[in-house]
Chains A and B, each alone.
Chain A
């Protein structure tokens, strides 16, 4: 079974940093783009970032550009999201998501991890 398991969420003070991890299994990890999507509890989904299959190309939503860094370790089948200079507006559930199509950036998100909650508060 294809599985994505996020970890690393928690409570952090404004201005702090956190690194999320997403461990993948059940598919050929190094042939898929990966994304992070976040959701403020009770609110809608927001795309955050994506990375290509070999980690050489990344992109970010304007709201996190310059503060967040996506990366991946294909040997460990893991994608990361380094989050710096966090603000209360970054409080959300962060989902790790695989792009549906192998080798392509289709912008179809399938499957999703279960999510990890990041709370930014003093």
Chain B
């Protein structure tokens, strides 16, 4: 099965910009979606179809993709953005298609 690899942890100063990456073969064909998970809570969708935000998600969250790497950028990070972030795509190697999540990135806001 395909894998999506993320950096385990990143930190960002309050109000600064942080970029989280997700790498995997599936991303050459399928856009990533991104999920935010705070301790003790269920994940929520923050980006889908590369750079679309569900209603209620602040516009400081943006996405991009190039080759086999997808990125989530938080511009002007806030304290409430501290969370685990997971990318997701379809498993290109599986038929029928399966879902695959990234390994997750813990974002700390300093």
Q: Which of B78-110 contact A (CB under 8 A)?
A: 86, 88-90, 96-104
With contacts defined as CB atoms under 8 Å apart, how many contacts are there between chain A and chain B in the complex?
65
Closest Cβ neighbor of A115 among chain B residues: B42
Known A-B contacts A107-B90, A108-B33, A109-B88; the reply to A47 vs B99 at CB < 8 A is: yes
* Residue B24 is within 8 A (CB to CB) of chain A in the complex: no
A1 within 8 A of B: no
B contact residues, range: 20 to 34
Option from B42, B49, B103 in Cβ contact (under 8 Å) with A114 = B42
Decide: A47 near B100, CB < 8 A? Known: A107-B33, A108-B33: yes
Q: Among the listed A59, A106, A112, which residue makes an inter-chain contact with B43, where contact means beta carbons less than 8 Å apart?
A: A112
**What B residues does A37 contact at CB under 8 A?**
99, 101
Question: Is B35 within 8 A of A45, CB to CB?
Answer: yes
Q: Is B12 at the interface (CB under 8 A from chain A)?
A: no
Let me know if A68 is at the binding interface, CB within 8 A.
Answer: no
Residues of B with C-beta under 8 A to A108: 33, 45, 48-49, 88
Interface residues in chain A, defined as those with a beta carbon under 8 Å from any beta carbon in chain B: 35, 37, 44-47, 50, 59, 61-62, 95, 100, 105-115
